[in-house]
Amino acid sequence: MDFLISFVLALVALLILLQLTVLLLWVERKGSALIQDRVGANRANLFGGLLPFNLGIVNTLMADPLKLFHKEDIIPKDADAFLHWLAPFIAVLPLFVTFAVVPFGDVLVLGERVINLQAADVNVGLLFVLGMVSLGVYGVVIGGWASNSRYAFLGGVRGSAQMVSYEIGMGLALVAVVLTYGSLDLQEIARAQGQLMWGVIPAWGVFYQPLALVLFFIAGIAESKRPPFDLPEAESELVAGFYTEYSGSKQSMFMMSDFIEVAIVAALVTTLFFGGWQVPYLYRDGFHLPGGFFFGVPSLVVTILQVGAFLTKLFIFCWLQILVRWTYPRMRYDQLMNLGWKRLLPIGLANVVVTAVLVLALEGFTVP
Amino acid sequence: MIAFYFIAILTLASALMVVLHRNPIYSALGLVNTLFLIAVSFVMLDAELIAMLQVIVYAGAIVILFLFVIMLLNVETEVRTARVSRLGTAGLVLALLLALELGVFALVREPSSGTPELPAGFGSTELLAETLFSDGMLSFELTSLLLLVAVVGAVVMARRKVES
Amino acid sequence: MNPYIALLISFALCAIVAGIMCGASWLLGPKVENKAKSEIFETGNPPIGSIRGIRFPVKFYLTAILFVVFDIEVVFMYPWAVVFRRLGWIGLAEMAVFIAVLGVGLAYVWRVGALEWD
């Protein structure tokens, strides 16, 4: 029975991620169209226009993946076929698994069972996420190498150097968060943010660590090689960088890894800085508003509200990343590396030291 | 126990791939696999923090360095020669000797009385961190010096190559 | 239930899904051999020289080594951050010394110009 519950939770986490990824593809296209004052993709028809109605988003959601999966899989001459298959697999697998430690709700009470809404409640969840992000670099390096093309190889090496530089920035930003909450367990951090500062404001991470939020957000966008940091796969300059020689579903896997990382950065930002699934003042039995009002709510409704809050916040941060993409011009590679090593790293270190001093000096600065 | 044997066999297979495969990229990937499986072994031994650190530092950083070095030096796929090298035979003999020693040692030794008592929270982050930063303070500070030496050394070596 | 077993279940599920998705084209797509298709894309020109002849810039190697060192530093900070409150000011002093030594390393690398990318 436990096994079944774990399996269902893992399946739910994976499905949330997959649906979000496909949805983000559509949101990206329509959102960029909105920002750029044009219409965007609206041509997908069912059965070649036989039906008098157009299902809109559903068509585009189905059309893109189905089209890509049916394209021919071309392996370039003299390229290693196994490595050619392995690269997108390694690129995508750690990112899929990362979502398993993200809590998407508090608990679900089914009769006597209290199910923790997190696929794997690992004590060192935050380190697990960092480890999986570290493993994601291999997809890029092997992808570039396995294509047997000089463009792709250089794109792969530059991409991996960039990812590697910003991993340190990400890690440092999160150290400050761990200092504040004193735990590496994502569900515990999410729960700790339910407390109230001065009885009124929920203790969300953004109030304690605004600088870490900015650092982490920038590092996260750079890590997923999204614009404005996308020189390794610059669409208008290097064709497609390290995944030039990929076609069909393998290429779609690389593109998906882009959106999966968007989702993961958004999930981490919500969980660590914005309370995760926390709805302000909502606890397991109902609303405890400041001023003493209590509003009882059945536990199933509480769960639904909390999962809904998580998904909403997740979506907001994905949308924020899409906005950032279509607002800023691309950064040059040396500007990119400068930002990573000369700005994010020293500022991250300073943030850690200042936070540590504040935690010791002010008794109320931590969450418990 | 079955889990341990399964993981152990996979680890050994990966390690053999590291050593025996002709293509150096496959060797590096075999190394990633081996290190990841060792992290899994750590998890089975309840040392979860060390397992995660193994993945982050070893499998996630050091092998990337290896891959960069392989590509830097343009290490080619080996051509398997027909004759058996002397070094390989010596290595095999020494490895068999080591296995023999370990086997004798394992069989002769008195079996221990069950699992030893582990302190509460063994392998957890809190216990390890408290020990590291109280008893192991000197080692910790010396580690920082070691890392500083590594950074300076790497920069000196790499820049000499650039200037030459 | 041991959370790592749940993690293993997640891992197996994701591996199967990712594997099928990566192999989907090979299973579902057409396979028509064509000389032009299997050539490397270099906007029409035949590629000169293979991947083996690339002079790999040494900057990348330096970036990777610096990454390893600073990654280890960050990784030491995590257990410290978890038990930080119990360690008090002495713990802060220890870590401050650690960060200072590595800060010297970063300053040296910065001054020498190893972080420059032309």
Residue range of the domain that includes B9? 1-78
Residue C15 forms contact with B (CB below 8 Å): no
Please tell me the predicted confidence (pLDDT) of residue C35.
65
How far lies B140's CA from each of B49, B53, B151, C111, in Å?
17, 16, 17, 26
Q: Which residue has the higher pLDDT, A167 or A205?
A: A167
Is A142's pLDDT higher than 50?
Answer: yes
Task: Confirm whether B107 is domain-assigned.
Answer: no
Average pLDDT over residues A242-253: 75
Specify which residues A196 forms β-bridges with.
Answer: A202
Q: How confident is the model at residue A118 (pLDDT cuts 50, 70, 90)?
A: confident
Specify which residues A296 forms β-bridges with.
Answer: A286
Task: Confirm whether B110 is domain-assigned.
Answer: no
Tell me how far apart the alpha carbons of residues C28 and C21 are, in angstroms, rounded to a whole number: 11
Residues on chain B touching A83 (C-beta within 8 angstroms) = 25
Is B164's pLDDT higher than 50?
Answer: no
Task: Confirm whether B92 is domain-assigned.
Answer: no
CATH code at position B27: 1.20.120.1200
Burial A143-167 (b: 16+ CB within 10 A, else e): bbbbbbbbbbbbbbbbbbbbbbbbb
- Last residue of one domain, picked from the residues B16, B49, B78: B78
CATH classification code of C3-112: 1.20.58.1610
C86 vs B147: CB contact, 8 Å cut-off? Answer: no
Where does chain B have alpha helices with state H?
2-20, 24-44, 48-53, 63-73, 86-108, 125-134, 137-163
Average pLDDT over residues A78-100: 86
**Per residue in C62-97, pLDDT tens?**
888 999 999 999 999 999 998 888 888 888 888 999
Task: Confirm whether B118 is domain-assigned.
Answer: no
**Angle subtended by helix axes C58-82 and C84-112, to nearest 10:** 160
Rg (CA), chain B: 21
Please tell me the predicted confidence (pLDDT) of residue C53.
61
C-alpha distance from A110 to closest chain C C-alpha (Å): 17
Residues B3 and B67 in one domain: yes
- Last residue of one domain, picked from the residues B16, B44, B78: B78
User: How many CB atoms neighbour CB B38 within 10 A?
Assistant: 20
Mean pLDDT of chain B: 84
Lowest mean pLDDT: which of A354-358, B27-31, B125-129? B125-129
**Per residue in C81-90, pLDDT tens?**
988 888 888 8
**Per residue in A12-40, pLDDT tens?**
889 888 888 888 888 888 888 888 888 77
Please tell me the predicted confidence (pLDDT) of residue A34.
85
Q: How confident is the model at residue A116 (pLDDT cuts 50, 70, 90)?
A: confident
Q: How confident is the model at residue C51 (pLDDT cuts 50, 70, 90)?
A: low
**Per residue in A33-86, pLDDT tens?**
888 888 776 666 666 556 655 556 666 677 777 777 777 777 777 677 788 888
Task: Confirm whether B131 is domain-assigned.
Answer: yes
Considering only residues 328 to 367 of chain A, which have any Cβ-Cβ distance to chain C shorter than 8 Å?
Answer: 333-334, 337-338, 341-342, 345-346, 349, 352-353, 356-357, 359-360, 366
B161 vs C82: CB contact, 8 Å cut-off? Answer: no
Residues B73 and B139 in one domain: no
Total-model pTM: 0.89
Please tell me the predicted confidence (pLDDT) of residue B97.
93
Residue B67 forms contact with A (CB below 8 Å): yes
Q: Which residue has the higher pLDDT, A211 or A115?
A: A211
Task: Confirm whether B41 is domain-assigned.
Answer: yes
Give the nearest partner residue to A149 out of C4, C47, C115, using CB atoms.
Answer: C47
Please tell me the predicted confidence (pLDDT) of residue A280.
83
Q: Are B154 and C62 in contact (CB under 8 A)?
A: yes
Please tell me the predicted confidence (pLDDT) of residue A194.
82
C-alpha distance from C113 to closest chain A C-alpha (Å): 11
Task: Confirm whether B60 is domain-assigned.
Answer: yes
Give the nearest partner residue to A356 out of C82, C92, C106, using CB atoms.
Answer: C92
Residues B4 and B62 in one domain: yes
* Sequence-separated (6 or more) residues with CB below 8 Å from residue B50: B42, B123, B128
Highest mean pLDDT among A225-234, B26-35, C106-115: B26-35
Report the 3 state secondary structure along chain A: CHHHHHHHHHHHHHHHHHHHHHHHHHHHHHHHHHHCCCCCCCCCCHHHHCCCCCCCHHHHHHHHHHHHHCCCCCCCCCCCHHHHHHHHHHHHHHHHHHHHHCCCCCEEEECCEEEECCCCCCCCHHHHHHHHHHHCHHHHHHHHHHCCCHHHHHHHHHHHHHHHHHHHHHHHHHHHHHHHHCCCCHHHHHHHCCCEECCCEECCHHHHCHHHHHHHHHHHHHHCCCCCCCHHHCCCCCCCHHHCCCCHHHHHHHHHHHHHHHHHHHHHHHHHHCCCCCCCCEECCEEECCCCCEEECCHHHHHHHHHHHHHHHHHHHHHHHHHHHHHCCCCCHHHHHHHHHHHHHHHHHHHHHHHHHHHHHCHHHCCC
Please tell me the predicted confidence (pLDDT) of residue A352.
92
Residues on chain A touching C16 (C-beta within 8 angstroms) = none
Average pLDDT over residues B138-161: 87
**Per residue in B101-127, pLDDT tens?**
988 888 887 666 666 777 776 767 788
Please tell me the predicted confidence (pLDDT) of residue B137.
87
Residues on chain A touching C81 (C-beta within 8 angstroms) = 175-176, 178-179, 182, 352
Please tell me the predicted confidence (pLDDT) of residue A263.
92
**Per residue in B58-68, pLDDT tens?**
998 999 999 88
What count of CB pairs under 8 Å joins B to C?
Answer: 115
Q: How confident is the model at residue A349 (pLDDT cuts 50, 70, 90)?
A: very high
Tell me how far apart the alpha carbons of residues A245 and A243 are, in angstroms, rounded to a whole number: 6
Please tell me the predicted confidence (pLDDT) of residue A109.
80
Mean pLDDT of chain A: 82
Tell me how far apart the alpha carbons of residues C106 and A134 are, in angstroms, rounded to a whole number: 22
Percentage of chain B lying above the pLDDT 90 cut: 34
The structural domain count of chain B equals 2
**Per residue in B76-106, pLDDT tens?**
666 666 566 777 788 889 989 999 998 888 8
Residues on chain C touching B147 (C-beta within 8 angstroms) = 69, 72-73, 101-102, 105
Q: How confident is the model at residue A288 (pLDDT cuts 50, 70, 90)?
A: confident
Task: Confirm whether B89 is domain-assigned.
Answer: no
C105 vs B49: CB contact, 8 Å cut-off? Answer: no
Domain ranges (residues) in chain C: 3-112
Residues on chain B touching A157 (C-beta within 8 angstroms) = 68, 71
**Per residue in C13-50, pLDDT tens?**
999 998 888 877 777 767 776 666 666 665 555 556 55
Residues on chain C touching B69 (C-beta within 8 angstroms) = 61
Please tell me the predicted confidence (pLDDT) of residue A158.
84
Residue C71 forms contact with B (CB below 8 Å): yes
